[in-house]
Amino acid sequence: MGEPNTAAPTSQEFEKVLVNSSTEVASFDTHDKTPLQKLQHFLHSSPAAVPLIVLVLSLIAFGAILGGKFFSAFTMTLILQQVAIVGIVGAAQTLVVLTAGIDLSVGAMMVLSSVVMGQFTFRYGLPPAFSVLCGLGVGALCGFINGTLVARMKLPPFIVTLGMWQIVLASNFLYSANETIRAQDISANASILQFFGQNFRIGNAVFTYGVVAMVLLVALLWYVLNRTAWGRYVYAVGDDPEAAKLAGVNVKGMLVTIYTLSGLICALAGWALIGRIGSVSPTAGQFANIESITAVVIGGISLFGGRGSILGMIFGALIVGVFSLGLRLMGTDPQWTYLLIGLLIIIAVAVDQWIRKVAA
């Protein structure tokens, strides 16, 4: 019997096909992006950039047309005063929109909270400070109901808040009997209700405490949304709630918390509204819901959720303020303001759709 051949073959059959193959390390496609693609990626990573650019260009345009009359310190701070209420309500709207929802009841919650503050003080004789707390509580309660219906019963946010808008609006008129509490009475007996309307000067610039509240609120929410785990959860819920749930996020609890916080912020806006107009009126701020959505959309916050910056919302509110005051100083028909803002809304949504293709 012959000895088996124990010599190892110099190579395996399947190795022969590798002789002339490439020896380069595998890599991703690294072809250079076009300038348009680079812009698209930049805007996707910096959602507040578009409204900031539009704001700067609008300031330059109106400044060139109106000159020093527009670029005075008084005019610039007047714009801030005019958008303070929208900015605060817009912050509440931003939180909801980031979760891919929408809140049509923000304006009604704001007004009802202000009416509760006034009525509790003058109808029931409660201390003004306690009445303010009650008003804040009413706003938070309305938000909690919205959040519970959306999160626990899985009802569409649009339908829930549309219904809440009607309920709160009717409750507001029924409870107040359509009665306005005069500014003179508030000033004499409950000046704390007008606190956010008080102002201070820095040179020729006039700031109200309502403007300060708006700036501090936005700064705080920016930090929370960008630097805390809770903020990352907000974006995660808006981007993909199912993935967020699998990652351990309590999606239902987050939604209830976000809507409750939104209601509380609306109540804060109601307090600031009293300071802005001086009186407590059940008919004030009826367009706050539309104005807040306008600021959010023009500010580059995606209505599909999960993308956007609260700074963009402020830029959006300021754009509306600049256009409104600039066109008024030019003596144009106020309808031009609505026309241009309408165009900006459509363009903003179109740009958002284009930017979203990066993540598609």
Q: What is the 3-state secondary structure (H, E, C) of 100-146?
A: CCCCCCHHHHHHHHHHHHHHHHHCCCCCHHHHHHHHHHHHHHHHHHH
Phi, psi angles (nearest 5°) of residue 207: -115, 140
Six-digit token string for 127 = 């201390």
Q: What is the mean pLDDT of the chain?
A: 89
End-to-end CA distance of the chain: 70
Say how far apart CA 101 and CA 156 lie, in whole Å: 8
Integer CA distances (angstroms), 221 to 91, 95, 215, 226, 313, in order: 8, 9, 10, 8, 12
Has residue 67 got a pLDDT over 60? yes
Provide the pLDDT confidence category of residue 141 given band limits of 50, 70 and 90: very high
pLDDT of residue 285: 86
Say how far apart CA 267 and CA 110 lie, in whole Å: 5
Write out pLDDT tens, residues 147-192. Answer: 999 999 999 999 999 999 999 999 999 999 999 999 999 999 999 9
Write out pLDDT tens, residues 98-129. Answer: 999 999 999 999 999 999 999 999 999 999 99
pLDDT of residue 34: 81
Distance of CA 337 to the CA centre of its chain: 21
Nearest of 355, 175, 160 to residue 256 by alpha carbon: 160
pLDDT of residue 33: 75
Provide the pLDDT confidence category of residue 31 given band limits of 50, 70 and 90: low
Say how far apart CA 40 and CA 244 lie, in whole Å: 26
Write out pLDDT tens, residues 81-102. Answer: 999 999 999 999 999 999 999 9
CB 193 within 8 A of CB 280: yes
Say how far apart CA 252 and CA 354 lie, in whole Å: 31
Q: What is the 3-state secondary structure (H, E, C) of 135-171?
A: HHHHHHHHHHHHHHHHHCCCCCHHHHHHHHHHHHHHH
Nearest of 249, 215, 213 to residue 231 by alpha carbon: 249
Say how far apart CA 280 and CA 188 lie, in whole Å: 14
Has residue 4 got a pLDDT over 70? no
The proportion of the chain whose per-residue pLDDT surpasses 70, expressed as a percent, equals 90
Six-digit token string for 36 = 């348009």
Non-local (6+) Cβ contacts of 354 within 8 A are 40
pLDDT of residue 254: 97
CB 109 within 8 A of CB 263: yes
Strand-pair partners of 181: 280
